Chains A and B, each alone.
Chain A
Amino acid sequence: MRRDMTINLVIFGLLVATAIGAHLMGEGFTVTLATKAAIFGLAGVGLNLALGYGGLVSFGHAAFFGIGGYVTGIFASHAASGQPILTLPFTLAGSNEMLGIWPMAMVAAGLAALVIGALSLRTTGVYFIMVTLAFAQMLFYFAISWPRYGGEDGLSFYVRNTFPGLNTFDPIQYFAICATLLGLALLFTAVVTQSRFGLALQAARQNSQRTVAVGIRPYGIRLTAFVLSGMIVGLAGALYADLNRFVSPAMLSWHMSGEIMVFVILGGVGRLCGPVAGAAIFILLEHLLGGVSDYWQALLGLLLLAIVLFAPGGLIGIVTGSRRHA
């Protein structure tokens, strides 16, 4: 328990130290890589709530990542053009305030998670995996074939959204925003998984029949976890859109779902900071292997295969020598 906490602090500390160190050495690009790791880590933390703690193997979380991204892109592009997003049933103007956009992104992702989750949770096991994948794919094709916001080409916005008192264009300041949100999400996960709800969620994962027999319906518990998970991933999508000032259907693609899953597994399923470590290592590998070969994903594939086959506890599992932490 204490050892896990130490590892969590070390992982988060390393990420922050990397960004600050790179900033002091004037390595803006490395700061941006650390920011990307923080954002992907946030997405992984969100998925981990459903996948790691709830045992809900969602292969469709790119849907929420993409929705968060598109909400950001749509608000920003309307703020630039001055056209309202909606006039009916009420007028909704564009915005370039992060503090206004984030709740919108989270609510939109949460609503999508509510609908997708309510349907998908009627199934279990391999059906659940495929159904979540299929629903994300549905949104992917919708984004491609809906020309209003760029269709296949995606949607660019030229100015990063603003945050009161900060210059979001400065890499280290944007990193600070992302790392703070990641920290809050970690705190939230730590609290929620220790609560009554967390108890019921983890019980339902391990023994659904027993959970029912003590009077708890897993469906509502799992749906709640799925929605919270989708909201966190939606927030990560919003940050990612702002990082790139660009959103495209690629954020909704099943590769994205797979990658978010990889962050979780690479670090260690059901561990608080596992996804952060996983995302950081993923980005590091992308960077290092990308220098070795243009076909670095083939190497990544082999590495990932080796981890699944020979180190099923993920990287933190290698350190602590245990498969998962409940």
Chain B
Amino acid sequence: MHEPILELTGLRKSFGALVATDDVSLTLRPGEIHALIGPNGAGKSTLIRQITGEIRPDQGSIRFEGQVIDGLDAAARARLGLARSFQVSSVIPDFTVLQNVMLAVAGASGNAFGLLRPALSDHRLTEPAAFHIEQAGLSGRAGVKAAELAHGERRKLEIAMALALRPRAFLLDEPMAGMGLEGGRQLTAILSDLRTEAPILLVEHDMDAVFALADRISVLVYGRIIATGTVDEIRANPEVRRSYLGEAA
């Protein structure tokens, strides 16, 4: 068994009386897709935000590629290769697709302070950006403003931006949300390819996608992980059936 890429130990976060994350421990191993499922309000997004560094846990620790990253802010974690997508597509609306991905390339390079050289003629930005745009299936759309993209294309743009971070792990927060049937099928294929780049921690409501993609599943209910296992183990787990799948089905 390989060392896990991402390892959460005993994470706890409460907002006043509400315990949003209760002693959560979880690993993400090389090459896997680990799905995080649970009913609305189970604390999935809060957990993701603790991993990205947007909010600080009250207790517990996060290791990323063997390094404790508790003291790093969100930007530093992103530069280490912790790439995320947002529940609601989040891009720079007035930028073109190319500029959006160039921004991510600049961020990953750790140098966003070049003042004088025009970014659009800087090959160190444009070439990787063009590559990742193609990789995410957006060829030919580089010059389009992000605000004018269709919903599915915006999802792909987010993936291109994540790829530009030279990711060591992906955190994808409900990538299927709002996708049609066909778009969902396409995206499932893209996610399946992504795993060859880096392992994915996938928060998702779409059970078909989860069961099709995930190597392991963790079930989060009221801030606690009630079960972790393979697809079959989770399907068979009586507690999961009772508290989650039973309701969802």
Contacts and interface: CB of A to CB of B under 8 A. Distances in A.
- Chains A and B touch each other in the complex, with CB atoms below 8 Å apart: yes
B114 A215 contact: no
B206 interface: no
Contacts of A224: 113
Interface string A120-151: 00000000000000000000000000000000
Q: Which range contains the number of A residues in contact with the other chain?
A: 20 to 34
Contact of B110 (A192, A197, A215): A215
Interface string B106-133: 1110111111111110100100000000
Contacts of B74: 212-213
Contacts of A213: 52, 74, 78, 83-84, 86, 90
A216 B116 contact: no
A196 B125 contact: yes
Contact of B78 (A196, A215, A221, A326): A215
Interface stretch (B11-19, B95-103, B190-198, B210-218): B95-103
Q: Which range contains the number of B residues in contact with the other chain?
A: 35 or more
A309 interface: no
A197 B118 contact: no
A194 B113 CA distance: 12
Contact of B165 (A203, A215, A326): A215
A215 B164 CA distance: 11
B66 interface: no
B114 to A, nearest CB: 4
A191 B120 CA distance: 11
Nearest to B77: A215
A212 B79 CA distance: 10
A210 B100 CA distance: 10
A221 B120 CA distance: 19
Contacts of B68: none
A166 interface: no
Interface in A171-200: 191-192, 194-200
Contact of B119 (A196, A211, A212): A196
A210 B90 contact: yes
A36 to B, nearest CB: 30
B106 A326 contact: no
27 contacts: A191-B116, A192-B115, A192-B116, A195-B118, A195-B119, A196-B106, A196-B112, A196-B117, A196-B119, A199-B99, A199-B102, A200-B103, A202-B92, A202-B94, A206-B92, A207-B91, A209-B54, A213-B83, A213-B90, A214-B78, A214-B106, A215-B75, A215-B108, A216-B103, A216-B107, A217-B75, A220-B113
Interface of B: 52, 54, 73-76, 78-79, 83-84, 86, 90-95, 99, 102-104, 106-108, 110-120, 122, 125, 161, 164-165
